[in-house]
Amino acid sequence: MNSAPECKSYYAATVNDSTKYPRLQGDEGADICIIGGGFTGLSSALRLAEKGYSVTLLESFTIGWGASGRNGGQLIRGIAGQPALRKEYGPDIEAFINRLRWRGNEIVEENIKKYDIECDLKHGFIDCAYKDRQMRDLEAEIESSSVLGMEDRFRMVSAEEMNEYVGTSVYKGGLYNNADGHLHPLNLCKGEARAATGLGAKIYEQSPVLSITHGKKPVVHTEEGTVRAEIVILAGNAYHLLEQKKVGGILFPAGTFIIATEPLGNNLAGDLMPRDLAVCDVNEMLDYYRLSSDKRMLFGGRCNYSGREPRDIKATIRPRMLRVFPQLKDARIDFQWGGKIGIVINRIPQFGRIGNNVYYAQGYSGHGINQTHIAGEILTKAICGQMEDFDVFAKAKHWKIPAPRWVGNNLVALGMVYYRMKDLL
Ligand SMILES: Cc1cc2nc3c(=O)[nH]c(=O)nc-3n(C[C@H](O)[C@H](O)[C@H](O)COP(=O)(O)OP(=O)(O)OC[C@H]3O[C@@H](n4cnc5c(N)ncnc54)[C@H](O)[C@@H]3O)c2cc1C
């Protein structure tokens, strides 16, 4: 078996749980077999174990090895693909979108509290606008929130006030809210894995799934073992190539990249990020950044829709960081890494079933921490017989590009040129 390509992230260097799980060897049975040890797999494993199911989770490499353990750590409201959902379902979908808007954040916070997970959770987030039209979009979000009685969570921030929130003059203003936030995602993965195994779930690392034999009781095969289950959940997102007949051509891996500076010290960190918020600009090709708990700037951006990694991540991301914070020109870059997110053309997360008993959830197009935790809850409810939320996503139509993945990726990359142009206008 190939060993995992190492991810030299800030998170890997500061992980607080060194638990190693064994490789699957031999044949086992379980109610539920989950493929993939990211947030989709882990949040499903935890919810299902809480419900009393016997769960076995198989991960190719190590828990949190994929996007979940390498991301920007921004815990952000919302589900992707809302315009497409509205088009598909009309105005009735509004209540559904609003019910789920913050649900993943709530689940994360519940898990942290209930299972005592140390992952540096901080509250506070600001969406930043470069343009007047983006400010108008942010104002519209407050207006729609007032209908829901959620307007207290938000505050518009003018260009003049911006320095109290983020120490830069590049923005026209922003939308602050205190219900989003940021955290150390790999430590959350490890904590959720620990919580699930504490409830009896079994986790196997270094156990890539090679195939699934379908049937009344599907069998999941790894190199050295099998798991026979009532139900299988496919949670490999942008990193798996299983079941391509059904899920091939609908999801495209895109790269996004992060650098971490040296610790900046209290004074500089306080000047740049006086409220220690998570920050995203609202461009389609967005920058996202925040401080780590040891006061490094973790700055991410540049979605690469060709699926190819830039040869030098630092050379690509650092100029973007200096555009926002010229004050960091002398800051050493200690870490640089990237990972893959699953892009869906209409942005609606993809839920579905292959046959009756192999479920999948994937394609969160960025806002993954919130949505993966929603996915865990929706999959658990579906398995318990409550199909309503699952069906809303499962019935949404998706474009399928019936061509090899590299062709699809290049088409998506081409489509993204449109969004780049939109950001510039
Ligand atoms: C650099 C980066 C920054 C991001 N920033 C943010 C952010 O700030 N906020 C946010 O909300 N979202 C962010 N995202 C998106 C978010 O991380 C993802 O949407 C989310 O983590 C997806 O979780 P997942 O469990 O579905 O997939 P993953 O976390 O990718 O997990 C899939 C797992 O499945 C395993 N796997 C694949 N195939 C097999 C197989 N055959 N057998 C066994 N295991 C298999 C993989 O090894 C992997 O560990 C970012 C993503 C990246 C890459």
Q: What is the pLDDT of residue 152?
A: 81
Nearest CA to ligand 1 atom 4: 71
Instruction: Report residue 214's pLDDT band, with 50, 70 and 90 as the boundaries.
Output: very high
Longest dimension (CA), the chain: 64
Q: pLDDT tens-digit profile of 343-402?
A: 898 999 999 999 999 999 999 987 799 999 999 999 999 999 999 999 999 999 998 877
Q: Which of 58, 61, 68 has the most ligand 1 atoms within 8 A of CB, as the residue to mutate?
A: 68
Ligand 1 pocket, 204 CB below 6 A?
A: no
Q: Is the shortest distance between the CB of 62 and ligand 1 below 6 Å?
A: no
Distance 17 CA to ligand 1 centre (A): 19
- Tell me how far the alpha carbon of residue 341 lies from the centroid of ligand 1, in angstroms: 6
CA-based Rg of the chain, rounded to a whole angstrom?
A: 21
Nearest CA to ligand 1 atom 9: 74
Q: How far apart are CA 310 and CA 135, in angstroms?
A: 32
Closest CA to 313 of 352, 259, 351: 259
Rounded to 5°, the CA angle 39-44-49 comes to 130
pLDDT at 305: 72
Ligand 1: atom nearest CA of 42 is: 25
Q: How far is the CA of 38 from the centre of ligand 1 (A)?
A: 6
Domains of the chain with bracketed CATH: 1-121+185-245+347-394 (3.50.50.60), 122-182+252-343+401-425 (3.30.9.10)
Confidence of residue 1 (pLDDT cuts 50, 70, 90): low
pLDDT digits (tens, 9 = 90+) for 335-349: 999 999 998 989 999
369 lines ligand 1 (CB under 6 A): yes
Those residues with Cβ within 8 angstroms of residue 27's Cβ, 6 or more apart along the chain or in another chain: 225, 226, 227, 228
Q: Establish whether residue 288 lines the binding site of ligand 1, counting it when its CB lies within 6 angstroms of any ligand atom.
A: yes
248 has a pLDDT exceeding 60: yes
CA of 290 to the centre of ligand 1 (A): 19
pLDDT in tens, 392-416: 999 999 988 776 666 666 666 666 6
- What pTM value is reported for the model? 0.95
Instruction: Give the closest residue (by CA) to ligand 1 atom 47.
Output: 60
pLDDT digits (tens, 9 = 90+) for 64-86: 999 999 999 999 999 999 999 99
What residue's CA is closest to ligand 1, atom 21? 68
pLDDT of residue 302: 74
Nearest-angstrom CA–CA distance, 54 and 140: 45
Q: Is 250 or 118 the better-scoring residue by pLDDT?
A: 118
Q: Above 70 in pLDDT, residue 130?
A: yes
If we measure between CA atoms, which residue out of 393, 390, 409 comes closest to residue 401?
409
Residue 307 and residue 255 in contact, taking contact as beta carbons nearer than 8 Å: yes
141: confidence class by pLDDT, cuts 50, 70, 90: confident
Q: Is the pLDDT of residue 306 over 80?
A: no
37 CB less than 6 Å from ligand 1? yes
